[in-house]
Amino acid sequence: FNTTSTKGFNTTSTKGFNTTSTKGFNTTSTKGFNTTSTKGSSVKFNWEDAFNINSLLTNEERILRDSVKAFCQSNLQPRVVKDYRNELTGSPDAAKALFREFGSLGILGCTLQGYGCAGVGSVGGGLVAREIERVDSGYRSTYSVQSSLVMGTIHAFGSEEQKSKYLPELGKGNLIGCFGLTEPNAGSDVANMSTRAVYDSSTESYILNGEKTWISNAPIADLAIIWAKCNDQVKGFIIERDTPGYTSDVIKGKLGLRASVTGSIALDNVRVGKQQALPLANSYKAPFTVLNSARYGISWGVLGAAEFCLAAARSYMLDRVQFGRPLAANQIPQLKFANMLSEISLGLISCYQVGRLKDFNQETPEMISILKRNNCSKALAIARTARDMLGGNGISDEYHVMRHVNNLEVVNTYEGTEDVHALILGRAITGIQAFQ
């Protein structure tokens, strides 16, 4: 990918936006837009891109989107039903192969700079998530955890030695990582985590004890980012799989995200040298920073799933004839299509805006809470509506929609539930924190 182009943006300053200057913006060109007249305009509404977001993307972003879409449709879509039916957890070799495929495509950690990463912008990273989740949320979760939570943590909070050692191999998919934050008794209540790290000055090492659960990629991970309390701090550690006392088990029987691998982690007197501690990860700010980046990608991804469900319902209702005409010819289906399209389009343009702000460090956690909360809940509602529109066929995995419903139930919960993000926004609105 071409990561050197900044057409359309003034990259010399991150202090807000200069609204009096047009440097960095071509204000004379109207390519693609008829600005002189609306009479006899050739511009037609495209329901698949209602706000013409394609016109806002750079050439590099379009190339990235199209290449990832082609890969997903040719390599992932044909096998997703099998992976979901068989629960990919039961096939570790297939799960590991997916990372190498993503690595060969160059998309793992693609928004990071250096260390073999592509260095694309936030919108480009969102487009990648959207195309992967158009096929399946489990596949996108696999990508997101590796890219945002594992590589993103090391890139932001690791030492130069840690970055050089781990990031290139994680980016190629030769190493697999997981992110150990959630615990059996500490989900939304992260402050209640019980995992502890004790520093042993005589050996310059840390001893970790605790348990993590619902950890994506854990059963096949070569390394884990583990968060633990150490005295009054929350510290992050890179723990390799073969470290004595570290074990991971598979969580089986999931009814959603079956095309990804999930497990638990046990830490029993795990001793790691101080060189495995992330030197800049010494507070809750560290995990929440990378979680926000992951939530941004999720907000794009779920809309890809929603777009698939809308297209599937549209195709079905155009083909299905009842009472002498296509079901799509009736008012209620058309109302549902209009509602679905409106929510998807508003969600996409919001993701685009926050992405552009993000590249200038102008986004806030509250913006991302709006995106995650809104887009996940709306995508789930769209998938449920599409399932209903397909009638009995809607529960068949060959039509894919019910799989998206089940997946989106999970995505609506993880990395901040709808209600938790509502409380974050409520605090921002009122200045009063309603939770501890």
Q: Among residues 190, 73, 179, 56, which one has the least CA distance to residue 134?
A: 73
- Per the structure, the count of domains in the chain is 3
pLDDT at position 116 = 96
387 and 289, same structural domain?
A: yes
pLDDT at position 90 = 58
Contact 203, 156 (CB under 8 A): no
271 and 379, same structural domain?
A: no
75 and 146, same structural domain?
A: yes
293 and 270, same structural domain?
A: no
Burial class (CB in 10 A: 0-12, 13-18, 19+), 136: buried
pLDDT at position 232 = 86
Strands 246-250 and 233-240, bridge-based pairing: unpaired
Is 132 within the bounds of a domain? yes
- What's the 3-state SS for the chain? CCCCCCCCCCCCCCCCCCCCCCCCCCCCCCCCCCCCCCCCCCCCCCHHHCCCHHHHCCHHHHHHHHHHHHHHHHHHHHHHHHHHHHCHHHCHHHHHHHHHHHHHHCCCCCCCCCCCCCCCCHHHHHHHHHHHHHHCHHHHHHHHHHHHHHHHHHHHHCCHHHHHHHHHHHHHCCCCEEEECCECCECCCHHHCCCEEEEECCCCEEEEEEEEEEEECHHHCCEEEEEEEECCEEEEEEEECCCCCEEEEECCCCCCCCCCCEEEEEEEEEEEEHHHECCCCCCCHHHHHHHHHHHHHHHHHHHHHHHHHHHHHHHHHHHCEECCEEHHHCHHHHHHHHHHHHHHHHHHHHHHHHHHHHCCCCCCHHHHHHHHHHHHHHHHHHHHHHHHHCHHHHHCHHHCHHHHHHHHHHHCCCCCCHHHHHHHHHHHHHCCCCCC
Contact 286, 237 (CB under 8 A): no
- Answer with the one of 172, 189, 217 that is the final residue of a domain: 172
338 and 262, same structural domain?
A: no
Our answer to whether residue 415 is catalytic in this structure is yes
Is 15 within the bounds of a domain? no
Question: Which CATH number is 149's domain given?
Answer: 1.10.540.10
pLDDT at position 330 = 97
Q: How far, in Å, are 29, 59, 110, 436 from residue 11 at the CA level?
A: 20, 18, 19, 39
97 and 63, same structural domain?
A: yes
Is 10 within the bounds of a domain? no
Set 87, 183, 307, 415: catalytic member: 415
425 and 347, same structural domain?
A: yes
CA distance 204 to 201: 5
Is 244 within the bounds of a domain? yes
Q: 324 — alpha (psi -120 to 50), left (phi > 0) or beta?
A: left
Is 436 within the bounds of a domain? no
- Answer with the one of 155, 172, 189 that is the final residue of a domain: 172
Q: How far, in Å, are 75, 236, 398 from residue 406 at the CA level?
A: 22, 32, 14
Is 116 within the bounds of a domain? yes
62 Cβ contact list (under 8 Å, min separation 6): 54
Place of tokens 């495509």: 105
pLDDT at position 40 = 58
pLDDT at position 1 = 46
Contact 349, 53 (CB under 8 A): yes
Phi/psi at 26 (5° precision): -90, 105
Divide the 436 residues of the chain into consecutive groups of 10 and give the mean pLDDT of each group: 40 39 41 50 92 97 98 97 84 86 97 97 98 98 97 98 98 97 87 93 97 96 97 95 97 94 97 97 92 96 99 98 96 98 98 98 96 98 98 96 98 92 95 88
415 and 299, same structural domain?
A: yes
Is 45 within the bounds of a domain? no
- Answer with the one of 219, 252, 276 that is the final residue of a domain: 276
190 and 140, same structural domain?
A: no
Q: What is the residue range of 390's domain?
A: 285-430
Question: Maximum Cα–Cα distance for the chain, whole Å?
Answer: 83
421 and 302, same structural domain?
A: yes
Is 37 within the bounds of a domain? no
309 and 250, same structural domain?
A: no
CA distance 151 to 62: 24
Count of other CB atoms within 10 angstroms of residue 278: 21
Question: Which CATH number is 213's domain given?
Answer: 2.40.110.10
Question: Which CATH number is 395's domain given?
Answer: 1.20.140.10
pTM of the model: 0.89
121 and 182, same structural domain?
A: no
